Structure 1
Amino acid sequence: MIDGDHIAKAAVRDAGGAFEVFEVVAPAAPMAPPHVSPWSGVLFLLEGRITALVDGTPYDVEPGGLVVVPAGTPATFGVVGASARLLAITSGDGAGRFFADFAASVPLDRPVEESMAAILSVTGRHGVALAGA
């Protein structure tokens, strides 16, 4: 992913619903464009610092802090400092398929601008949209 490596840790599905847990290891880099996904998410910061942008509101997050991103809400985050490590917990079971498709389809060794066609193709397949696009 543009904003860091997403490592699947758990996927749970039962009669009450489903959720997925990912460890995200994120380097310092320009903030990815805000995007809207069909799943809700919670980011729990383990190490480092991030600035999360949720529906246009910035949140400075330190270890032990969390940010809730409701489904359908424009959001992104950027690392403050050298790197950050966080847990991302998402509702449903679609985020893992999206992350895997993104990793397989979008070359990470090229600038985002050169990969935009591939990014838009993957986001379109999974109901994710760049905010304002």
Structure 2
Amino acid sequence: MTSMTKGSCLCGAVAYEVHGDLRPIVACHCNQCRKASGHYVAATQAELKDVVIKGDTLKWFQSSETAKRGFCSNCGSNLFWQGFGRPHISIWAGTIDGPTKLRMESQLYPESAGDYYDLPDIPVVEQSSLRE
């Protein structure tokens, strides 16, 4: 049986469904995630083929040579991160509707963490070891 997860932006103009499994949560402390979210990002990930996104206010910002970030142009909610040419999409965990049944299992770029918070007590992983 395939699981289904739903989520949306703050105003509800962008909604998504994931018809498949989600990866455990990874925290990212990189400067881009901190600037985009105002803190660190906690994201899950799904296969692109399993994700249906609806809403005409979804905008994509090319944040680097290798990736883009999806957000609602109406309310400003950050929703997605997608590396170019990759078969999956990262989804901000806070945008999932209802309980996620997921746990944060690892983190990226702890050397870039803000000085105003303590790092979670979870393993540090190299980005290359995540789904490629």
Q: Is TM (by shorter chain) over 0.5?
A: no
Q: TM-score if structure 2 supplies the norm length?
A: 0.30
Q: Give the structure with the larger strand fraction.
A: 1
- Relative to total residues, which structure has the larger helix share, 1 or 2? 1
Report the TM-score, using the length of structure 1 for normalisation. 0.30
